[in-house]
Amino acid sequence: MDDAVSHISQAYPDRVEVRGRDLCGDLMGRVGFTEYFHLLLTGEEPTDDQRFFLDLLLVAIAEHGMMPTNVAARMTLAADPGSLQGAVAAGILGCGPVILGTSEECARMLQAGHAEGGDPARVATDLARAVHESGARLPGFGHPVHRPLDPRAERILELADERAVSGPHVALARHLREAVAMIWGRPLTMNVALPIAAVMLDLGFPATAVKAVPILARTGSLLAHLAEEREQPLGFRMAAAAERAIAYEPPP
Amino acid sequence: MDDAVSHISQAYPDRVEVRGRDLCGDLMGRVGFTEYFHLLLTGEEPTDDQRFFLDLLLVAIAEHGMMPTNVAARMTLAADPGSLQGAVAAGILGCGPVILGTSEECARMLQAGHAEGGDPARVATDLARAVHESGARLPGFGHPVHRPLDPRAERILELADERAVSGPHVALARHLREAVAMIWGRPLTMNVALPIAAVMLDLGFPATAVKAVPILARTGSLLAHLAEEREQPLGFRMAAAAERAIAYEPPP
Amino acid sequence: MDDAVSHISQAYPDRVEVRGRDLCGDLMGRVGFTEYFHLLLTGEEPTDDQRFFLDLLLVAIAEHGMMPTNVAARMTLAADPGSLQGAVAAGILGCGPVILGTSEECARMLQAGHAEGGDPARVATDLARAVHESGARLPGFGHPVHRPLDPRAERILELADERAVSGPHVALARHLREAVAMIWGRPLTMNVALPIAAVMLDLGFPATAVKAVPILARTGSLLAHLAEEREQPLGFRMAAAAERAIAYEPPP
Amino acid sequence: MDDAVSHISQAYPDRVEVRGRDLCGDLMGRVGFTEYFHLLLTGEEPTDDQRFFLDLLLVAIAEHGMMPTNVAARMTLAADPGSLQGAVAAGILGCGPVILGTSEECARMLQAGHAEGGDPARVATDLARAVHESGARLPGFGHPVHRPLDPRAERILELADERAVSGPHVALARHLREAVAMIWGRPLTMNVALPIAAVMLDLGFPATAVKAVPILARTGSLLAHLAEEREQPLGFRMAAAAERAIAYEPPP
């Protein structure tokens, strides 16, 4: 059964080995958590650019106001104050595509577009046109709050250019924005999910790693909301407001 | 390793054995889900009274308006429409003591009180006085909506008397209500958690089984809310109302 | 905002109204949990046949040995013994399509097939052929343990015939089985998910209700495993066996 | 209702404000994720020492082999491959005190001990003696794998000394170790939870923040295991090994 193998870590009585390294003698005190997360996720320590952008993307996506995930987590802690992990889990369960964006879907779209080869402007136009005609939503576009621009998306692109990591996936993302404005007949907000995916692919991350970033980031934010909830309980107040917004009527 | 044993069930290629019975040849079509739940939970099929009251208690506790657990579950489904089980899980995580009552805590209190022996009125008075002096909350008393009575609690006690299953734990629950009114100087609502615990103990359930009832019941209710959510989306509307109820201010 | 309406329930100080009925005065003591679950889920009390088959399907699908969901839930309780709801939630999160079957997918397939009209044997053959050619899996067929028959599926079909509730969706399910044997060149096990879907559709349940049944059923089973876990801890023993089955190797 | 206030963040159409700062213009690209997590959690940017030790503690606690939480998460992803967040949530639910240590409990113990004032050696002895006599477990001591020392705990203490952040809580932790060896009559392993708590308190973190660190760290590790699971499926293999470790026997 030579495929019953994991390459992540093993604890021994006197040491812990992680990704072939000695956790206590080598990693602790030398690498920060972002670098360690990269090592855990990919098996390799990040380059400076990978580290910089992993930090940037985690910071970009972690916190965005009193999101439904934060609301659900705070209500859950209010109902079960002893279970911080239960409240975090409830919040993470809301990290579905509607709330947390579609970064992995964006990554697959960009990968497929890039794999086609040829002129990226043309690839972007064909892709946008096909989605528009099918009536589906184009991942990475549209935002309920940010208009006309998602400032996080713009800042990521700006830093990717400044640091010269923008490659073909970032280029394709920009072509998509132009194609969308033309085909939809008006500009749509490019939301933060698309540049996250584009920059990660240009830095060499696999598409399957892309969704890990928003989930880790959002966990940090949930923990902040739950720390505040323990000091300043808002969960039941929010639940009451939610309940009042809905009327009960007997079935017809 | 003779303790590495489970007594619940085993699947074989041509049959499934549950609690020593043949699922397909014996149980399916003969027992209802409530009886089956009793068999799963305790290893034995219920008596008529056990079945009647297990049904009664499940019905009593399942649904109670747009509770925070339902709100959290509906928000979660709105954010991740493909994961019904994720939304159910988020709702169940809110089934902590503050929302779902303290039925298991009540059961332990009643068991301890009954184990003391002696005059139950005196036991109840001593217990209530000790809790009152310590400043703690007495499990099974108080309700945010139901005053002066929780109609579910009253109906359970009424049916327990009618069917002659009321025993020492139900008696102790009633003594507690009187003791509480005297010691607190005003009546407190006996909520549904206390009769659930008392009736289950009088019917021979172990205290550890008591919390299973509200969790199964509430799962049924969550599934109903989530079925409605798929037809009539309210999750994001409730999240928006919750968010509007809270103001952001920068840290001082 | 006349669409901000829920039709399930409302709690008032002196009563609880559920689906237009008085919980305490009407439902408690009159209806069993299965009937109540039907009322919650659909807004209507079940007919005798609906009640019988809802019970039957809940019993059929609840428990099936030491399933991965039970293993995960028991490990979770071992790690956090105070949170029964956390352990239940962990178990429910594993109720994905691979483990818990594809009953809702089966329901959509049967609905679409039936909506086409025409000869059901022909519809079944076309459907099976299309899936076979695409290389996809056909929902409702195949099982890791039960061969050549899933005894739960057979028993459901038998009772549906006996009680004369078998209608066009059950018929289509049977045609599918024959078509599959012909097109795949060998019989595949029709698993329990397909008759669950077929019978529910023939009894008038909407397709969106179909997945609620396995989730409620499995919650009952999880609660039984967790009650046993509290008496007979197996979670860490199973975790150790799982860990031993995998070797760590440093990344290549 | 001037207490309906949150101090964390707010999204506006053209910007996002977090903890009084402009996310895009100020924080993104300037602060790393660890610093940002500190800002989210506490409202303030960390000092160099706070940042260093927050990184150190996150790295120390994130990953520790094929833990039950990783096993449960991998099984959950195997059962529901489309829901990465569901699998992460299942893993986090196992972050209870038995698995993830008792860092918050340690923090409360150290705070209480320090608040007593007086000679810390005496405080430690009294505390250890009281726990020993009560028959309870002393939080922060004992480990199933690491003996006689937990190398992570030793490395944290070493770096706390090197960087001169060791204060009264670290001192108390060391006195506890000595007191334990004397009172239990043999050395017990000081596990990683105690130095995490001690260093965080000496750096000025509130006790309520202490558990946030292991939960964020463990989320990073879960995401790594789930990324590996998508490439190298082990979940069902581990579930099968777990199942095989347990025998079914009918109830007596």
pLDDT in tens, D95-125: 888 877 689 999 999 999 999 999 999 999 9
Rounded CA-CA distance A48/A58 in Å is 15
φ, ψ of residue C96 to 5 degrees: the values are -80, 180
Q: What are the tens digits of pLDDT across the range C4-42?
A: 999 999 999 999 999 999 999 999 999 999 999 999 999
Q: What is the pLDDT of residue B82?
A: 87
Distance from CA of A80 to the nearest CA of C (A): 9
Asked if D248 lies within 8 A of B9 by C-beta distance, the reply is yes
Minimum CA–CA partner of A41 in chain C: C251
Tokens of C202: 């023939």
Examine the pLDDT at A147 and tell me if it is beyond 60. Answer: yes
Q: What is the pLDDT of residue C63?
A: 97
Asked if B246 lies within 8 A of D43 by C-beta distance, the reply is no
Q: Which residues of chain B does C63 touch, with a Cβ-Cβ cutoff of 8 Å?
A: 8-9, 16, 18, 23, 40
The percentage of chain A sitting over the pLDDT mark of 90, rounded to a whole number, equals 91
Of C17, C43, C249, the CB nearest to A5: C249
Length of chain D: 252
Asked if C248 lies within 8 A of A17 by C-beta distance, the reply is yes
Q: What is the pLDDT of residue A2?
A: 59
3-state SS, residue B10: strand
Q: Encode A172-194: b = buried (16+ Cβ within 10 Å), e = exposed.
A: bbbbbbebbeebeeeebbbbbbb
Q: What are the tens digits of pLDDT across the range C166-187?
A: 999 999 999 999 999 999 999 9
**Chains contacting chain B through 3 or more C-beta pairs under 8 A:** A, C, D
ipTM above 0.95, yes or no: yes
Q: Which residues of chain B does C156 touch, with a Cβ-Cβ cutoff of 8 Å?
A: 28
Does B208 contact chain D (CB < 8 Å)?
A: no
Q: What are the tens digits of pLDDT across the range A187-240?
A: 999 999 999 999 999 999 999 889 999 999 999 999 999 999 999 999 999 999
**Averaged over A138-151, what is the pLDDT?**
93
Does B10 contact chain D (CB < 8 Å)?
A: yes
The percentage of chain C sitting over the pLDDT mark of 70, rounded to a whole number, equals 99
Distance from CA of C73 to the nearest CA of B (A): 12
Rounded CA-CA distance A94/A85 in Å is 15
Mean pLDDT score of chain C: 95
φ, ψ of residue C196 to 5 degrees: the values are -55, -50
Q: What are the tens digits of pLDDT across the range C118-156?
A: 999 999 999 999 999 999 889 999 998 999 999 999 999
> At A83, which amino acid appears?
S
3-state SS, residue D190: strand
Pick the residue of C70, C71, C145 with the most D CBs within 10 A to test the interface with D by mutation.
C71
- The rounded Cα A6 to chain-centroid distance in angstroms is 25
Q: What is the pLDDT of residue B3?
A: 82
Of C43, C85, C247, the CB nearest to A251: C43
Distance from CA of C126 to the nearest CA of A (A): 25
Examine the pLDDT at D1 and tell me if it is beyond 50. Answer: no
Q: What are the tens digits of pLDDT across the range A101-114?
A: 689 999 999 999 99
**Averaged over B151-177, what is the pLDDT?**
98
- The rounded Cα D203 to chain-centroid distance in angstroms is 16
Asked if B89 lies within 8 A of A87 by C-beta distance, the reply is no
Rounded CA-CA distance B230/C212 in Å is 12
Q: What is the pLDDT of residue C1?
A: 45
pLDDT band with cut points at 50, 70 and 90 for residue C97: confident
Q: Which residues of chain C does D222 touch, with a Cβ-Cβ cutoff of 8 Å?
A: none
Asked if C40 lies within 8 A of B58 by C-beta distance, the reply is no
Q: What is the pLDDT of residue B2?
A: 59
